Amino acid sequence: MLALYELYGQNRSKNAPEFIYSILYQTDPPMIRGRSANHEQRLVNNVNIDKHIPENAIKLLNNIRQIEPRSSCEGSDKDHPTFFIFRFKKDPREEYVKEFCNKLSKNNQYKCGYELGRQGYYRVGVTNKLYYSEENEKEFNRWWLNLPEEINRALK
């Protein structure tokens, strides 16, 4: 079945999993349903967060004054990796966003990309070929717990 936006040449916006896939694999994503996995969740600051994302990481990310967290996921497989999506509170120029992503991506643990979101603001996605499983719990936790520091470093 052909998607209507392909049939008519329309440029539709991507949902969060498609956006993250395009960052990770540097290609147009296939159509991916949003929130297809039912991860257990818990409340952190009155927001539902996937259970395995470290609470301390979420609290530290929420305390970065320059950003507004928008979405996160613990991931479930290589096509649905863990991710964090945010916007800058003060809508910056594209050059700033591009430089930020380049700085963050210098650390091979983080793949960062951006695009104009549905509301006309740049959204930034951070991911890697990683998702929660019991086998990689330590690597997963380290990725999330180091993310706030790496974002702060890239903001300088």
User: The domain that contains 61 carries what CATH number?
Assistant: 3.90.1150.10
Structural domain contains residue 51: yes
Q: Residue 103 sits in which domain range? A: 12-26+40-155
Structural domain contains residue 35: no
What's the mean pLDDT in 3-10?
38
Structural domain contains residue 6: no
**Band (139; pLDDT cuts 50, 70, 90):** very high
pLDDT for 4 equals: 33
Q: How many domains does the chain have?
A: 1
91 by DSSP, 3-state: which?
Answer: coil
Structural domain contains residue 87: yes
CB 34 within 8 A of CB 15: yes
CA dist 141 → 34, 54, 64, 88, 110 (Å) = 23, 6, 19, 24, 14
Residue 101 has pLDDT above 80, yes or no: yes
User: Percentage of residues in the chain with pLDDT exceeding 90?
Assistant: 67
Structural domain contains residue 3: no
Q: How many CB atoms lie within 10 A of CB 145?
A: 14
Structural domain contains residue 108: yes
Which pTM does this prediction carry?
0.88
CB 20 within 8 A of CB 70: no
Structural domain contains residue 45: yes
pLDDT per position as a tens digit, 17-60: 999 999 999 988 877 776 656 778 888 777 789 999 999 999 99
pLDDT for 40 equals: 85
pLDDT for 6 equals: 41
Structural domain contains residue 111: yes
